[in-house]
Amino acid sequence: MGLPAAVEKKVHRQAAIAIGKLLEADEKKQGGASIKTLTLAPGVVAKKATYALTCETLRYLPVLKPVLESTSQLRFSQHLRPELAYVLVYDLLFGQGLSGCAPHEKVVLACKSALRASLARLLVKHGVSSAAELLPAESQRAASTQPRYARINPLKTTLEDALRLLRSSGGAAKSAPSVEQDPLIPNLLVFPPGTDLHDHAMVKDGRLILQGKASCMPAQALHPDPSWTVIDACAAPGNKTIHLAALMGNKGKIIACDADARRLETLKKTVKKAGAKNIDARHQDFLKLDPEAPEHLKVRAILLDPSCSGSGTRLQRMDHLLPSSTERTLGESDPGTPYEPATPADRERVEKLASFQEAAVRHALRFPGLQRLVYSTCSVHRRENEDVVSAVLPTAREKGFRLAPAFPGWPHRGLPVVEGAQHLVRTDAARDQTDGFFVALFERGSGKKSAARGKADASSDISRKRVPPTEKDGRGVPAVNLEGRKEDVELEREAADVAESVERDDGLAEPDFARRAGKRKRKQADNKATGSKRDKQSRNGRGVEPEGALGESVKSARGKLATDAGKTAEGTEDTRSGNGDHSNQSASNDDLEAEPCGTARESLLRRRKAKRERKKAQQRTSQAGEAS
């Protein structure tokens, strides 16, 4: 191996431990740590050598097993665990050889001739000339052909500074001679396949986040407003959570939930390293989160990336090297199309996962202020993706949600088995040079316009609570009793207009079709208010007078209106005799009050302006009288 004897011994043991854990999890059909996690962890010595030896041993496992079974000396050895035997025999037959310094190496070297004879018989039996020809086709597909992705953390550095450091001779990683920007995800960098950045200074201090392209897509699709309260429903280990924090500029609030206490600690470390300040990490089962709790009424967006089969990350995790890979390959279709679980055990597990995923999406839709929801998985199974969306879509529509187009320029969409499949996003490991992922974006209303409407609704709700039923408007008329909901309608329109103006100032102006939709809604609100007033006038025109307290309020209001009208007329006459310009201004203001307003904002401005002009005219008339 070209390593000192002590280091070589350590590498053999580390690889054997990793293989033992991987094989145990694979046999029990359980998820678990990946090859990279086990071999590139901080405490591992000679990481690259350990990772390479682990991968190659697993790749040749279909050959090593029959060779060992036909070698009785090793098969019945009580001092050599199977996983260590696999590692040592691989290195002897296909690797760099054994030095013979460690006791276990001496045991294997003693069987060198028997092992080589066993391999020769196996090759003859299958009519091949090399062991590589015996390997399953799936194991030939290497993840090393995928680029290495890393995301710039804007909470700690800028894209320009990071690129300058990476491309400079003093700061660039030795194995990263070139770096490019990804065209789809902002701040995502693309390095050549095989680039090792784990020990890079920018990775260690949190300026550079090792995160795959597909893994960046859910947070980017959600893209919450910086002022929002957001929930990351299944947050650990936290890369998507800190991506949300970066997109929000450390503003707003992110409630990061995870039901596993150990994984939550990993999340907290990730958050601290990234410098994210707006994340509230909680040991919390998302399904037990109360949507009606006061603090959750402000939730506007949810990122839901629940537990899944992980079938889309098999190449990246090197799961295709595990023994169960052959079974899964039998069920796989051509690259780019999903495959169904091949074994009954896998199908049962996926079905349980899908049931949980459906429940999680339905729970997310219960949050009353929700505007956007992203559902994502790192699975390629239809049951966990399109079928989940199809199951929850009726509930989503009842609550005013629709499937919105995530990444409109992405060419690969959902399977045509659900309405709106053209809005869904799929990635494929072999085709797209990233992990297999699925992303669905649910929006209430019409995209970004709906976000402004959500703010407007919240503002109007608060405004209505602050307006007592007996409070009077500028004309001294009880706002609710005289004109029904006209005051509420005006408040809603004004709040919507203010929210839209803020949205435009933030550079979030919506497309023309969305603006037209908002204009239609305001017009409907105007018609509603005008219709309410017309109904009142028509009822009174037929001689039907309100009775009781309401009748007294109406009579009092009419009297005050008549008095105000008389005062205004007197002020106007006096002004005409003193200054003709004020006559024209007062007349124009009266006309403005009389004509219908297109928006609540214009209506309020015109009424206020007219009132100010009347007061000024009265003051001038009074001053002229005192002077005379």
Residue for token pair 């309410």 = 532
Residue 11 contacts residue 3 (beta carbons within 8 Å): yes
> What percentage of residues in the chain have a pLDDT greater than 90?
47
pLDDT over 70, % of the chain = 67
Residue 398 exposed, middle or buried by CB count within 10 Å (0-12, 13-18, 19+): exposed
Beta strand extents in 103-147 (DSSP E only): none
Region of poorest pLDDT, from 165-169, 193-197, 446-450: 446-450
Distance, CA of 199 to CA of 41 (rounded, Å)? 11
- Quick check: 360 and 233 in contact, CB under 8 A? yes
How far are the Cα atoms of 166, 185, 195, 603 from residue 201, in angstroms, in the given order? 10, 23, 14, 59
Tokens 């005013």 found at: 400
Res 527: pLDDT: 62
Which pLDDT belongs to residue 620?
A: 79
Cβ proximity of 80 and 107 under 8 Å: yes
**Who has greater pLDDT, 314 or 290?**
290
Name the residue type at position 283: H
Greatest extent of the chain over all pairs of C-alpha atoms, in Å: 129
45/507: higher pLDDT: 45
Q: Strands of 188-191's sheet, edge to edge?
A: 180-181, 188-191, 148-152, 208-209
Residue 498, pLDDT > 50, answer: no
Q: What are the C-alpha distances in Å from 283 to residues 176, 277, 376, 521?
A: 38, 18, 21, 42
SS3 283: strand
Chain segment 71-94, per-residue pLDDT in tens: 876 665 667 889 999 999 999 999
State the Cα–Cα distance between residues 70 and 290, nearest whole angstrom: 61
Residues in binding site for S-adenosyl-L-methionine: 234-240, 258, 285, 305
Cα–Cα distance measured from residue 75 to residue 107, given in angstroms and rounded to the nearest whole number: 12
pLDDT in tens, 7-61: 999 999 999 999 999 888 888 766 667 788 888 887 899 988 998 999 899 989 9
- Give bridge partners of residue 152 from the DSSP assignment: 208
Distance of CA 234 to the CA centre of its chain: 11
Q: Quick check: 430 and 315 in contact, CB under 8 A?
A: yes
- Angle (CA) 140-145-149 rounded to 5° is 140
Q: Measured between alpha carbons, how far is 450 from 435 in angstroms, rounded to an integer? A: 32
3-state per-residue secondary structure call for 526-590: HHHHHHHHHHHHHHHHCCCCCCHHHHHHHHHHHHHHHHHHHHHHHHHHHHHHHCHHHHHHHHHHH
pLDDT value for 94:
93
Instruction: Tell me what pLDDT residue 146 has.
Output: 84
Enzyme catalytic residues: 378
| 147 has a pLDDT exceeding 60 | yes
Contact 311, 317 (CB under 8 A): no
Tell me which of 197 and 557 has the higher pLDDT. 197
Phi/psi of residue 418, nearest 5 degrees: -145, 145
Angle among Cα 397, 337, 30 to the nearest 5 degrees reads 85
- Please determine, for residue 145, whether its predicted confidence score (pLDDT) is greater than 90: no
67-91 burial, b if ≥16 CB within 10 A, otherwise e? Answer: bbebbeebeebeebebbbbbbbbbb
**Amino acid at site 42:** P
252 exposed, middle or buried (CB, 10 Å; 0-12, 13-18, 19+)? buried
Beta carbons within 8 Å of 472's beta carbon, 6+ residues apart: 478, 479
Highest mean pLDDT among 317-321, 404-408, 474-478: 404-408
pLDDT at residue 388 above 60? yes
**Measured distance CA(251)–CA(279) in Å, rounded:** 9
pLDDT at 10 (0 to 100): 93
Packing angle of the helix pair 82-93, 112-126 (nearest 10 deg): 80
From the annotation, which residues make up the binding site?
234-240, 258, 285, 305
**DSSP H/E element including 143:** none
The two three-digit tokens of residue 237, written as one number: 């280990």
Torsion sign (Cα): 213, 216, 222, 223: negative
Specify the pTM.
Answer: 0.64
Q: Please provide the distance, in angstroms rounded to a whole number, between the alpha carbons at the two ends of the chain.
A: 112
